[in-house]
Chains A and B, each alone.
Chain A
Amino acid sequence: MINKVVAGADEAIKDIEDGNTLMLGGFGLCGIPENCIAALVKKGVKELTCIANNAGVDDFGIGLMLQTRQVKKMISSYVGENAEFERQLLSGELEVELIPQGTLATRCLAAGYGMPAIFTPAGVGTEVAEGKEIRNFKGKDYLMEYAFDADFALVKAWKGDTAGNLIFRSTSRNFNPVMAMAGKITIAEVEQLVEAGELDPDQIHTPGVYVHRIFQGKEYEKRIEQRTVRSKN
């Protein structure tokens, strides 16, 4: 079996350069590649274009890379809950392309499935449609949206094996499997790294062919954005 294991986050991201386009998995702060983000902040690469559903919060997730001004452009669907982001956006320091969430996910999927574009009705008749080709199928209009072209995809899984196979846990799956399929180079960080053969092939969410590098993250804070609970009484 081909061994995809690298020592850690620093080695995994060592060839990410200024100006690269990165995909980062996660929804809010759930299932984000915490260790890769920390390594990118440490390395200090700049002028990055980041494709991620959200931009983190001020002091966690992609928010950390915004504080250090490493991000030139964000491609996201929802960017609330981040004051530094809003400040950079309004001052013109940060370029932002907002796109529908399903379009974001499906443009990743298209890249991973080797399809150049998709047709979706999301955004027809809105400013999202500006400059885009429209096709009518069975009486309904659809926008043509291109597959993403990303230099690296950084994803976070629950378990992975040395062959790069991944299993996600609960809703931390979100964008991770489709982004894993979509990167020219995909880097997976996992909570538990096991030997090839220890994961049931029937339970694999992302086959190792899509994963180029894998490592076990040093630690996971797994911060909760909105802690909502009910009382036992």
Chain B
Amino acid sequence: MLDKNGIAKRIAKEIKDGYYVNLGIGIPTLVANYIPNGINVVLQSENGLLGMGPFPFDGEEDPDLINAGKQTITTLPGSSIFDSAMSFGMIRAQKIDLTILGAMEVSENGDIANWKIPGKMVKGMGGAMDLVASAKNIIVAMQHINKAGESKLLPNCTLPLTGIKCIKKIVTELAVLDILPEGGFKLIERAPGVSVDFIRNATLGRLYATDDVPEMAID
């Protein structure tokens, strides 16, 4: 079973040289720490920055320079800054190669819910609805099961939706899964030490798995 950093490490392997990438808040933010050496990627922050750098050194923080999580950050050589309309313009026009975001639930037909729990939590969708509606390549980083042991990979989402039929790949603490065009989760890799049966029991939506699904290789 993977911890949050393990999920981030596995997702980082999906990033290819030359990608422009948008990282959501939470586990997706950790992915930046595991981008392999020799791979050049540009991170987008949807408030209006391409080329997000690391956190500033203590004492060098700039209140005018933050990321979409409102954290102080830095720019890099080659960074550019623009307004929020242009930022979502490049997202809508599919100039961003890969979007990585978190989810509370994903359904077997690729619907995602991650912005609202009626009666409990209403923080808003931020840029998530724009991202999932337009991105050509989305990876969801999420927990396979919640604290009560219930599956979050479902036949249908129960929470208010963020987007429909948009998710194609999921990385959880248990597995890497693709969502098939005709619907259903296809097991691609197992987390170290996790059996196919365990994943099957943790997945409420339709799961397609062969007995020889490989264990994922992460350092």
Interface residues, chain A, with chain B CB atoms under 8 Å away: 27-31, 53, 76-80, 86, 89, 96, 98-106, 108-109, 120-128, 158, 168-178, 205, 222-232
How far, in Å, is B192 (CB) from chain A's closest CB?
A: 30
Interface positions, chain B 56-95, Cβ under 8 Å from A, are 56-67, 69-73, 75, 81-85, 87-89, 91-92
In the complex, chain B residues 96-151 whose Cβ is within 8 Å of any chain A Cβ = 111, 122-130, 133-134
- CB <8 Å contact, B84 and A175: yes
- Check A226 against B81 for contact (C-beta < 8 Å): no
* Interface flag for B172 (CB, 8 Å): no
Query: Is the beta-carbon distance between B129 and A122 smaller than 8 angstroms?
Result: yes
CB B69 to nearest CB in A, in angstroms, measures 7
CB distance from B108 to the nearest CB of A (A): 16
Cα distance, A4 to B161, chains bound together (Å): 46
Asked if residues A226 and B57 are in contact (CB atoms below 8 Å), the reply is no
Residues of B within 8 Å of A174, CB to CB, are 47-48, 83-84
- Asked if B129 and A128 make an inter-chain contact with CB atoms under 8 angstroms apart, the answer reads yes
11 further A-B contacts with Cβ under 8 Å, apart from A126-B161, A228-B72, are A53-B84, A78-B124, A101-B88, A102-B87, A126-B129, A169-B64, A174-B48, A174-B84, A177-B85, A229-B60, A231-B57
Give the docked Cα–Cα distance between A30 and B65 (Å): 8
B45 at the A interface (CB under 8 A):
yes
Asked if A178 and B83 make an inter-chain contact with CB atoms under 8 angstroms apart, the answer reads: yes
Q: Which of A101, A125, A226 has the most CB of B within 10 A?
A: A101
**Measured between alpha carbons, how far is A31 from B133 in the docked complex, in Å?**
28
Q: Determine whether the beta carbon of B82 is less than 8 Å from that of A173.
A: yes
A170 touches B62 (CB 8 A): yes
Q: Which residue of A lies closest to B84 (CB)?
A: A105
* Chain B residues near A172 (CB-CB < 8 A): 63-64
Contacts of A231 in B (CB 8 A): 57-58
In the bound complex, do residue B133 and residue A170 qualify as a contact, i.e. CB atoms below 8 Å apart?
A: no
**4 A-B pairs with least C-beta separation:** A102-B88, A102-B130, A125-B164, A80-B123
Chain B nearest CB from A130 CB (Å) reads: 11
Question: Is B49 an interface residue, CB under 8 A from the partner?
Answer: yes
Question: Does any Cβ of A come within 8 Å of B163's Cβ?
Answer: yes
Q: Which residue of chain A has its CB nearest to the CB of B162? A: A126
Q: Which of B57, B69, B134 contacts A121 (CB 8 A)?
A: B134
B residues in contact (CB < 8 Å) with A: 45-49, 54-67, 69-73, 75, 81-85, 87-89, 91-92, 111, 122-130, 133-134, 160-165
The answer to whether B58 and A224 have CB atoms under 8 Å apart is: no
The residues of A that contact B133 with a CB separation of less than 8 Å are: 120-124
Contact assessment for B161 and A223 in the assembled complex, using a CB-CB cutoff below 8 Å? no
| A191 to B166 Cα, complex, angstroms | 43
* Pairwise interchain contact A223-B129, C-beta atoms closer than 8 A: no
Contacts of B127 in A (CB 8 A): 77, 100-102
A177 pairs with B83, CB closer than 8 A: yes
Nearest chain A CB to B130 CB, angstrom units: 3
Residues in B neighbouring A123, C-beta threshold 8 A: 129, 133
Whether B57 contacts A30 by the Cβ 8 Å rule is: no
B81 to chain A minimum Cβ distance, whole angstroms, is 6
Q: Which of B48, B84, B111, B126 contacts A78 (CB 8 A)?
A: B126
